[in-house]
Structure formats: structure tokens, C-alpha cells
Amino acid sequence: MNALDARDLQFAYPDGTTALDGIELTIEAGERVAILGPNGAGKSTLLSLLAGLREPASGDVTYFETDDPADALRDRIAHCPQAPADYLFNATVREDLEYGPAQLDVDRADAEARIADLTAEFDLDGLVDKPPFRLSGGEQRRAALAAALAVEPDLLLLDEPVADVDAGHRETIFDALDRRNEAGTTVVVSTPSADLVPRVADRVVLLDRAGSIARDGPVRDVLTDGTTLRDVGVSPPRLVSTFQRAGSDDPPLSVEDAVEKLRAFSAESDEMTDEQ
């Protein structure tokens, strides 16, 4: 089943800036997709259109193979904006976490259990009774993601979900997204950083500066295509470019993969030395 199907999306801001030009994008339920592109490529604009927060000038988006607009699917689609403060508008973080379930008439005991789980999962103990504007940028990011997940959506649209987040809490967020995806949630993440992509996605949609799709394909295919990445203004992942520069035609996408390749290379060198 499709989680979403976007046909020929065009969007320009009132000042005439074309942000999206002819986006064709079908995402299957359960996929993990990264929207990758340089600053200004239109990633945030695309996510806001997919979330139904903006209307395209032309083209349309359908969800879950239904005729329901995004507005009618607030229990199934969650969008976390690039600025997490935009998602936190209640007096306390706890109230922000309660807001979504309350809007959807989730049973109170069930909502409380969800919020206790999310508070622990996103390391928000000690922060839930604070006003959101008193949180640091990284803390706000975690609070906003937890609030988005409180409605247990089927489709997650996350705009740069680990910007401002320290390394330990990045893993917290990645693990949380993995758990949702393993349970069937479709996860769409935007980022300007190719280094991040292998950890969060299996497929990459690469946007160019004109707001069009330059490439759409499996992570390995797109991230090892240095020419196209550089053409659109994105640096290839450091691991990929380092191994490619050293002559590898099968560069690793993760540190674990790199360690394995280096061990294999070192074992091969040892064998050659022994033979000599």
C-alpha cells in the first residue's frame, strides 16, 4: 500500500520563489526515506506540502490510497517542523505531549501511559514540567518528536530531526525511529547531510536547487554517485569519499561496515606478508 502519492507538485512562495518544480513521489507504507538536498532545495517546503500544511500551486497528494485529505488524517500523519519550537505551544512540555492524544479523544489512561513511555524513551524526565521555551534546542527537538509520536501516526514526516542534538541523543532518536519503522510506520526524514542518511533511510530522494528530484533510489546507489551529489551541492558521505579516494569501488556506508572492510584488508595484507 502507498503511504503517500504526490503527483507533479509545483509550489512558489508569494514573492515568486519557485520552491518545488514537478515533484513526483510515491512512498510505500513502511519505507524509510531520506529527502536529501542542499540548503534552499525545497526539503522543508516539500515536507509541509506532504503534511497538508501548504497547498501546491498544482498537482496533488493522496494518502494511504484513499481520497482523504491530510486534514482528515491527523491521527495517521505527523509532521515535525525544522524549528521544533513551532511544534511546542503549550505552557509545559507535558501539555504538549498530552495535546495530540486529547485532540484525538484517546482514553485518558492510555494517553498517560503513552506519555510516560515517551518521557522515558526521549529522556525527558526532569523536563516535562518546564515551559518548552526554557528548553535548549536539542531538548526542544526531543520534546517535539515525542509530542509528534504521542498520536502513534502511520506516517512520520520529520524535518531535520537530529539538528542541534548531541551524539548520545541522536542515537536515542534513531533507535526510536527504528522501533516505529519496525512496527510498520513510514518514516520520511529531511536532511542536508549525506552522512546521516544511511542511519535513517533505505531510499534517498535527492533534491536539486531548482526544487526538482535529481535522483531517487536505494541509499547505496545515490550516495556513491559523487558526481550527481556534487552537482546538486551535497557532499558525499565522508566514509564513501574517503574509501573511493583510496580506490574502493564498494565503499562502506557505516562505521561498522568500514571497520569490517579495514579488518578484511588488514588480514589480506598479513597473508601477503606471510607468503613473501
Question: Binding residues for ligand ATP, per CB under 6 A?
Answer: 13, 15, 17, 19, 37, 39-45, 82, 192
Instruction: Name the residue nearer to ligand ATP (CB basis): 119 or 190.
Output: 190
**Least separation in angstroms between CB 164 and ligand ATP:** 13
Is 1:28 a contact under the CB 8 Å cutoff?
Answer: yes
Looking at beta carbons, which pairs linking 174-183 to residues 24 or more positions away fall under 8 Å? 174/199, 174/200, 176/121, 176/122, 176/145, 176/149, 177/32, 180/149, 180/156, 181/30, 181/32
Instruction: Name the residue nearer to ligand ATP (CB basis): 10 or 248.
Output: 10
**Least separation in angstroms between CB 158 and ligand ATP:** 12
**Least separation in angstroms between CB 226 and ligand ATP:** 20
Instruction: Name the residue nearer to ligand ATP (CB basis): 163 or 258.
Output: 163
Is 237:198 a contact under the CB 8 Å cutoff?
Answer: yes
**Least separation in angstroms between CB 57 and ligand ATP:** 13
Instruction: Name the residue nearer to ligand ATP (CB basis): 205 or 240.
Output: 205
The letter for the amino acid at 140 is: Q
In Å, how far from its chain's centre is CA 223?
Answer: 16
**Least separation in angstroms between CB 209 and ligand ATP:** 8
Is 45:123 a contact under the CB 8 Å cutoff?
Answer: no
Instruction: Name the residue nearer to ligand ATP (CB basis): 39 or 276.
Output: 39
Is 126:93 a contact under the CB 8 Å cutoff?
Answer: no
